[in-house]
Amino acid sequence: MSTSGNHSTITLRLNQEHNLLSYCSDLGSRIYNIEPLHVKLCLDVAQFGTLSICEMLHRTNLLALVAGGSRPKFADNTVIIWDDHSKQFALELTFPSRVIAVRMRLDKMIVAEADQIHCFSIGKDVKKLFTVSTRTNPTGLFEISSQPNSERQLLCFPGHRIGSIQVLDLTNCEPGASSSPVYVNAHENEIAYLVMNQQSTLLATASQKGTLIRVFDTTSPYRIFQIVELRRGSDVATLYCLNFSQNSEFLCASSDKGTVHIFALKDVHLNKRSSFKKMSFLGNYIESQWALATFTVAAECACVCAFGQGNTVFAACVDGTFTRYGFGLDGQSNRLSFDVFSEMTTVEDEE
């Protein structure tokens, strides 16, 4: 997630397990351990310049970096792989236009420009597998299966039709090979956010309207179908983040309304329902499920949210604040901790 204002860019990204957070600002870039919260790595501006992307590969020593912000040291159409173990740059890839997003697996790296997505195999040798054109994708929306050694390897991104998602199977993507994509007509408006669970069996999407979140089953290789519709609210909102819990029993969402919503997916009866009587002019409004629990962060402050240990959710915001909440199955939530992580600048050794 990236926000810009007054020529200043702040980017927040979680790693695949949601236990590390990267924070890129005009003052430099840092990686934080989530539980407990402390600085794990600093990327000094003098060496790296300011960055727009710091993408992590699980908890390994490899980082994908893209320049941005007010003092870039590299071109913004270049992805640089930094090996923090050897303290050197391991790879540099240059693209025709600005790189907007990067995702990594242990065996693959995906890079998005505004109108195309590139897939590479990584390892001893780096090989370009394919490039696929997309509809205009200014925020670089796409997701890949992240679980190591999984037989399921999916790539999801906005389709050419408004509100649609295209899903590709990456298990057969050697140069020259082809597999039929699967399309999902998810929303009537442009896609604003999409995310898969750890097992790549579920896909959650939201549109730029930001009122509804739809969850799809991706286990069929031929047809992806909707299993639940969740209502964030009735007012139009900008959605900043969606994430599944590790066991896929819950989904959290954050928006510019300053609220983080928690939905139950396994026991959907736990979600709240509208109290409206069924009226024809409401259409499907009555059928949507509302959040099991909610909590607030700084008003209109962009944040990433994810599930921590137990029934906890944390939100890391672009203003440098970090809030952790606990929630119960009865819908009650309480704040467990509050920190200003942006003021933490000293690396702490891990045992």
Mean pLDDT of the chain: 90
Predicted TM-score (pTM) of the model is 0.92
For 193: left if phi > 0, alpha if psi spans -120 to 50, otherwise beta; the answer is beta
Q: Return contacts of 35-38, CB within 8 angstroms, 24+ apart.
A: 35/308, 35/309, 37/322, 37/339, 37/341, 37/344, 38/344, 38/348
Q: Which residues pair with 66 in a beta bridge?
A: 53
* Residues 127-173 pLDDT 10s: 999 999 999 999 999 999 988 777 789 999 999 999 999 999 988 77
Q: Is 106 helix (H, G, I), strand (E, B) or coil?
A: coil
176 pLDDT band, cuts 50/70/90, is: low
2 pLDDT band, cuts 50/70/90, is: low
177 pLDDT band, cuts 50/70/90, is: low
6 pLDDT band, cuts 50/70/90, is: very low
Provide the residue ranges of all domains of the chain, joining segments of one domain with +: 1-87
Query: Going by DSSP bridges, is the β-strand pair 289-290/225-231 parallel, antiparallel, or unpaired?
Result: parallel
Residue 244, phi then psi, degrees to nearest 5: -85, 155
* Residues 179-218 pLDDT 10s: 678 899 999 999 999 999 999 999 999 999 999 999 999 9
Structural contact between residues 205 and 177, judged by C-beta atoms closer than 8 angstroms: no
Cα(109)–Cα(127) distance, integer angstroms: 10
At 171 the pLDDT is 84
At 124 the pLDDT is 80
Q: Which residue has the higher pLDDT, 123 or 221?
A: 123
Most confident of 104-108, 165-169, 248-252: 248-252
At 285 the pLDDT is 47
Average pLDDT of 317-334? 96
At 178 the pLDDT is 52
At 277 the pLDDT is 43
Q: Closest Cα to residue 339, out of 63, 49, 7, 23?
A: 23
Q: Which residue has the higher pLDDT, 299 or 131?
A: 131
b/e map 16-50, b = 16+ CB within 10 Å: bebbbbbbbbbbbbbbbbbeebbbbbebebeebbb
Cα(304)–Cα(302) distance, integer angstroms: 7
b/e map 159-197, b = 16+ CB within 10 Å: beeebbbbbbbbeebeeeeeeeebebebbebbbbbbbbb
* Residues 339-351 pLDDT 10s: 999 999 899 876 5
